[in-house]
Structure 1
Amino acid sequence: MQQFRAAVFAALFLFLNVSFGVAQDITLRSQDGSVEITGTFLGFDGEFYRVRTKYGELTVDGTGVNCEGPACPSLVNYIAEVSISGAATMGEVLMPALIEAFALRNNYKVARSFEDVERFDYELSDGASGQVLARFTFHSSNSDEGFADLLADEADIAMSLREIRSAEAKRGYEAGLGDMTDSNRSRVLALDGMVPVVSPGNPVKALSPLQLAQVFAGQIDNWIEFGGPDAPIALHLMEPSSGMAQAVEDQLMKPVGRVVADTTQRHERNISLVSAVMRDPFAIGIASFSETGNTQLLTLDGECGFALTASRRTIKTEDYPLTAPMFLYFPARRLPKIAREFLAYTRSPSAQIVIRRVGFVDQAPEEVPVNLQGDRFANAISVAGADVTLEELQRMVNRLGPMKRLTTSFRFQAGSTRLDAQSRSNVQQLARALEAGLYDARKLVFVGFSDGEGAAAGNRQIALKRAETVREAVVAAAETANFDQLTIDVDAFGEAMPMACDDSAWGRQVNRRVEVWLR
């Protein structure tokens, strides 16, 4: 009885001002009938009831109460209902592939049904009895719709190709969804890249990020400016409401104060964009790395001669500047047990294999030996001089030469000490690997690098401080790791190994990083 009272009056979540579509009252009564709660039924996850009462929203353990009222769910044949809404890029291929793999791993039967192109269901049932266990309902549209459904309490999970906007996070907090900017409210499911593509016959092979922004702003409108034919440039992007188009605006256009030209042709699906570029020898588009068809990918270069091409490895390490993390957002409430198990599965090694097979970039760390990083060390040699001395380069080679670089990298938001979204996810990934003992008996070194602006000595100190910050974040997240079984160190080489030119905000952002090296 005392436990029940505690569950009621010290409920897990207490939220105010939540709106609901259909009001159905229920009564939760303790086994001895001495305590009861009456309110509007909000949901049941197989273990806990959510009820809106005069005290606010309460989450109550179902094992200590009896439910009375027409809205009470069946406890015998309970079916977990999970609604997922958002980016079509994730909803049409990635999430279905992961659900089917999750079902196969757990010996569940899978049945898929369609309402229309954007709406479909996945039903999971027990492989032996055939009893339906869960129904995953999808609304596959765009990132804007995903957040709108989440804020309206019409979705349990939002799929997005961009981070939540501050206005959306504010509305979510006011609606009782919790702090949607908190790391516990989102996760990076997989990685993608925004890649400039042209038709295979186009003679132009590379553009700088600034030139690319100028092209899509309409400031450069003829290929002859890049040594191509004397022909107008036709622009192609995704619809403005898509997360991919919004990521292009955030990462490519806004840093240089540009906006996308009104003459840009917009597409609802990435495959439509790629097909349009393929058919037009004078077209350029920014497409998803996972689906470029037979188009030609342009390299991003700079005046200093460094060049970056989108690849699985450069996207995973964020060395390629236009990365596009694929997010899942969920509110501060319990999801059904099977949904929580599915989300845990998406971080497993087998799920990373599924992510790779469907064409996206997984987050499984890879170890890259020094002999596969010749271009990076060549960059280091090219900037040697008064600021980067031969002695410092020798120190770097002696320190890193016997080690391997982990593809898990860390970068900070522009003008901020806060890690960017992909790096915050990397903290959790690396922390779980430490807890699992994957790097026991090894040495990890967090190595800081900087851009080339300012004095070399000062840049090295800044880079060292960033490396220490990342190490502290990973150690704090790895709560159950046995740090007696491994060695963790920090070092920094400042501007000694640039990945891109310092002549743009994008290049400087790529160069400011913390890498993880292993021995």
Structure 2
Amino acid sequence: MLRAVFSLRVSRLATTLLAGVLLAPLSVSAALPIPADNTPALRIQGSNTIGAQLGPALVEGLLRKQGLQSVQTESAATPNEVRISATTAEGKVVFIEVAAHGSGTGFAALKANLADIAASSRPIKNQEALDLAASGDLRSHKAEQVIAIDGVAVILHPGNPLRELTTEQLAKVFAGQISNWEELGGSGGPIHLYARDEQSGTYETFKELVLLKYGKTLSRNATRFESSEQLSDRVSQDRFGIGFIGLPYVRHAKAVAVADGEAKPMLPTASLIATEDYPLSRRLYLYLPPNLHQRWANALVQFAQSPDGQAIVAQNGFVAQTVQAIKVQATPQMPRDYQALTREAQRLSVNFRFAQGSAKLDNKAQLDLKRVVDYLKRNDKLNQSVTLVGFGDAKTDPERATLLSKLRAMAVRRELLKNDVILRDVRGFGEEMPVAGNDVDEGRIKNRRVEVWVN
């Protein structure tokens, strides 16, 4: 009886997993409207991680793509705010405003009609989505746009000898429960804590992935910063300092490898962040209310997702979503079949993941399907060159974990088949090779992934 019930559940799950949809190709609109009353063409508020450099750079790229001239960025009277302006061939001035005071401020600005786009270095919260429901579903594929991948790097003074830390150690350090470097195996001395401010998406990500996971709160002794650059520079000048920061802002500090659960320690390298295997990797978002139909907002999102936009992402130190093939070195910890795969194929720099609490591919994965298909077409890999490898979180029954991981790979296979990709193989490795702990939802979601390998 139990076997029959399990078979029925698996059958239903397979049907759900094999559902999905590809988005239509993106294109940047031409001839955008020019405001006639000296008002901004677009208002962006939110994440300092995005707004400090990347956001203005993408705006500059869009303005040039539109054929506008004399593009320039100027600081506003308020810190962490800029105005990007350009002129039309007729001499009319177009300008866009960017305010970077933290991810939470972006959603508050949308609600108050003070912004057209919210820039965020974390996913929208349930209450924020409810507050903005009148403007449409902010979690829909149209509203929620992943424009780059970043890693929250844990940074130390360059002279600190420590090379790796676990997420549990980090939680205790930033909660103030570990207060001396000797307790971590380092040189003696008090630990000085540096953290982003309360409005920061970087702080929200660290809090979610590290502090709350172990039931901790940030120590009151931590020095808080709104500016990413200032935090990083402070750590690099303090031999007892430790902080966390977005990848482009490591600057003169030293990043350490981070281990979560049973996963091996990982440095915030571009390849591990691109696949989101690094335990503190995160997505950078632009959110635009789908019911408002602001043409400049739509154009900026489309430009950010384009090859030109992704090139700007890379130029600004973040990890672009451009698909590349990566050679992976086999290690003894890998399953034998996986080791064989590393010797005969290369892994693409993208993992397919699924929406929380759902068997559907998430918003990023739907766009990644198109990126992968484009890569396969360009490199003549459409016919029996692709192997999909599914992984999952730990289950009481390892065989069930293996089956579910293969069903996830089959969900991706179905979408690739719609685009004339004939696969070489589909495999499931179950709970093998975790990239995060399985004790919280965020870790389980990271472990439920599908890798793409090409011969």
TM range, smaller chain: 0.7 to 0.9
1:119 is aligned to 81
Q: Does 1:378 align with 2:314?
A: no
Counterparts of 1:187 and 1:124 in 2: how far apart (Å)? Answer: 25
Counterparts of 2:245 and 2:187 in 1: how far apart (Å)? Answer: 23
CA apart distance, 1:122: 2.0
Pair 1:321–1:141, CA change in 2 (3 A)? same
Q: Does 1:130 align with 2:94?
A: no
Which of 395, 398, 411 is the aligned partner of 1:469?
Answer: 411
Q: Does 1:404 align with 2:349?
A: no
2:389 is aligned to 447
Pair 1:211–1:156, CA change in 2 (3 A)? same
2:125 is aligned to 165
Write the deviation string for residues 456-515 of structure 1: whole angstroms up to 9, x where unpaired: 32221121122233445x45xxxxx96336448532122444446779987665543211
Q: Is the 8 A contact 2:75 2:82 kept in 1?
A: yes
Write the deviation string for residues 407-449 of structure 1: whole angstroms up to 9, x where unpaired: 11023467x33579xx531321322553794466344333102
Counterparts of 1:303 and 1:150 in 2: how far apart (Å)? Answer: 37
Which runs of no fewer than 5 residues in structure 1 stay unpaired?
A: 1-44, 48-72, 382-392, 476-480
The 3-state SS of whatever aligns with 2:183 is: helix
Q: Does 1:196 align with 2:154?
A: yes
CA apart distance, 1:331: 0.6
Which of 229, 234, 251 is the aligned partner of 2:187?
Answer: 229
Partner AA of 2:113 in structure 1? D
Counterparts of 1:269 and 1:256 in 2: how far apart (Å)? Answer: 27
Q: Is the 8 A contact 1:149 1:155 kept in 2?
A: yes
Counterparts of 1:380 and 1:433 in 2: how far apart (Å)? Answer: 25
Q: Equivalent pairs: percent with the same residue?
A: 29
Counterparts of 1:456 and 1:515 in 2: how far apart (Å)? Answer: 20
Counterparts of 2:404 and 2:263 in 1: how far apart (Å)? Answer: 26
The 3-state SS of whatever aligns with 1:374 is: coil
Which runs of no fewer than 5 residues in structure 2 stay unpaired?
A: 1-31
CA apart distance, 1:92: 2.2
Partner AA of 2:448 in structure 1? R
Counterparts of 1:113 and 1:275 in 2: how far apart (Å)? Answer: 23
CA apart distance, 1:205: 1.7
Partner AA of 1:141 in structure 2? H
Which of 339, 355, 358 is the aligned partner of 1:417?
Answer: 358
CA apart distance, 1:400: 5.9
Which of 20, 33, 42 is the aligned partner of 1:82?
Answer: 42
The 3-state SS of whatever aligns with 1:379 is: coil
Counterparts of 1:509 and 1:337 in 2: how far apart (Å)? Answer: 34
Q: Is the 8 A contact 1:87 1:143 kept in 2?
A: yes
Counterparts of 1:483 and 1:297 in 2: how far apart (Å)? Answer: 41
Partner AA of 1:152 in structure 2? A
CA apart distance, 1:328: 0.4
1:328-367 maps to which residues of 2 (within 5 A)?
Answer: 328-367=286-325
Write the deviation string for residues 263-291 of structure 1: whole angstroms up to 9, x where unpaired: 21111111111122122211111111111
Counterparts of 2:259 and 2:218 in 1: how far apart (Å)? Answer: 21
The 3-state SS of whatever aligns with 2:58 is: helix
Pair 1:100–1:467, CA change in 2 (3 A)? same
1:205 is aligned to 163
Write the deviation string for residues 117-139 of structure 1: whole angstroms up to 9, x where unpaired: 3333223333x43344x431222
Q: Does 1:269 align with 2:227?
A: yes
Pair 1:503–1:228, CA change in 2 (3 A)? farther
Which of 145, 148, 151 is the aligned partner of 2:108?
Answer: 148
Pair 1:498–1:170, CA change in 2 (3 A)? closer
Pair 1:365–1:220, CA change in 2 (3 A)? same
Counterparts of 1:246 and 1:80 in 2: how far apart (Å)? Answer: 30
1:93 is aligned to 53
2:172 is aligned to 214
Pair 1:485–1:338, CA change in 2 (3 A)? same
Q: Is the 8 A contact 1:379 1:498 kept in 2?
A: no
Partner AA of 2:350 in structure 1? T
Partner AA of 2:454 in structure 1? L
Q: Is the 8 A contact 2:60 2:72 kept in 1?
A: no
2:452 is aligned to 516
Pair 1:305–1:225, CA change in 2 (3 A)? farther
Q: How many residue pairs are counted as aligned between the two chains?
A: 419
Counterparts of 1:345 and 1:287 in 2: how far apart (Å)? Answer: 26
> RMSD over aligned Cα, in angstroms?
3.0
Pair 1:178–1:378, CA change in 2 (3 A)? same
Q: Is the 8 A contact 1:439 1:486 kept in 2?
A: no
The 3-state SS of whatever aligns with 2:229 is: helix
Write the deviation string for residues 386-422 of structure 1: whole angstroms up to 9, x where unpaired: xxxxxxx24x4555643321111023467x33579xx
- Which has the larger displacement, 112-121 or 455-464? 112-121
Pair 1:505–1:227, CA change in 2 (3 A)? farther
CA apart distance, 1:305: 8.2
Q: Is the 8 A contact 2:101 2:199 kept in 1?
A: no
CA apart distance, 1:111: 3.9
Q: Is the 8 A contact 2:275 2:349 kept in 1?
A: yes
Which of 477, 494, 511 is the aligned partner of 2:430?
Answer: 494
The 3-state SS of whatever aligns with 2:358 is: coil
